[in-house]
Amino acid sequence: MDFPQALRERRTSRRLSQLELALLAGTTQRHLSFLETARSEPGRDMVIRLAESLDLPLRERNDLLIAAGFAPVYPQTSLTAPALAPVRTAIEHVLEAHMPYPAIVVNRCGLLVAANDAFSLLTDGAAADLLEPPANAYRIALHPRGMAPRVANFGQWARHVLESLQSALRRNPDEELGALYDELLRYLPAESPEASPLGFAVPLELRTGDGQLLKLMTTITTFATAVDVTISELRLEAFLPGCQFTAEYLADRARHAAR
């Protein structure tokens, strides 16, 4: 894809007019129009300013630079590289600190990067092949041989997960994530979803192996100031108890496991 087309598609996907983007990037609508019609060629700094103004992920900022004929600016370091040892340590600390509640770290397409011991509560009973690396957390969540049979409000929960992925795709199209979304969509039940919750979040209502029903809510944390593609795409998805019974159950479970 050439730069004019890439710029135009990213601007329109964010529903910004040329004037609005020009103001954000500190340029004129006329100059932006010339860039989108290939009547002008952008400088490197202008491409970076436009990418920042569009709030593009670092991966897409690199793609926009390449489309304009420039080298990528943002590195993409393997998470196993020595340079990212502090990041790995930080992730381990955060996951451990979240005990006794489940927490995982995934990449942009849901591949499981790390998890704490409490995550086994969610994967209990899931097919072994779904858990083999590289395991995908979203596939585990919605697959008929994954968590799905144990989720009491599966229709509601599955739609919540898929709507989140669809929103990400609308903002930042991604071929790999798009293929995963199409797969997960097939697992969605045909019937209408349950009534929307009266609370402030969509809960995960999970049946345990001993017949209990837990209510969990999710929070998502990202490395907002990351300048490395790999780090910027990591998401910490933490599950919190949605009721007192769930909090007590998870605490008791952790105490028994420690004995």
What was the pLDDT predicted at 202? Answer: 79
pLDDT band at 197 (very low <50, low <70, confident <90, very high): very low
Tokens (6 digits) for 26: 């500190």
CATH superfamily assigned to domain 3-67: lambda repressor-like DNA-binding domains (1.10.260.40)
**pTM, two decimal places:** 0.86
- Structure confidence at residue 243 (pLDDT): 94
Longest dimension (CA), the chain: 71
Q: What is the residue extent of each domain of the chain?
A: 3-67, 82-258
Q: Looking at 54-134, which runs of residues are DSSP E strands?
A: 103-106, 112-115
Residue 189 has pLDDT above 90, yes or no: no
Tens of pLDDT along 71-114? Answer: 999 999 999 999 999 999 999 999 999 999 999 999 999 999 99
Question: What would the pLDDT profile of 119-138 be if each residue is shown by its tens digit?
Answer: 999 999 999 999 999 999 99
CATH number at 82-258: 3.30.450.180
Give the span between the Cα atoms of 188 and 196, in whole angstroms.
17
Say whether pLDDT at 198 is over 70: no
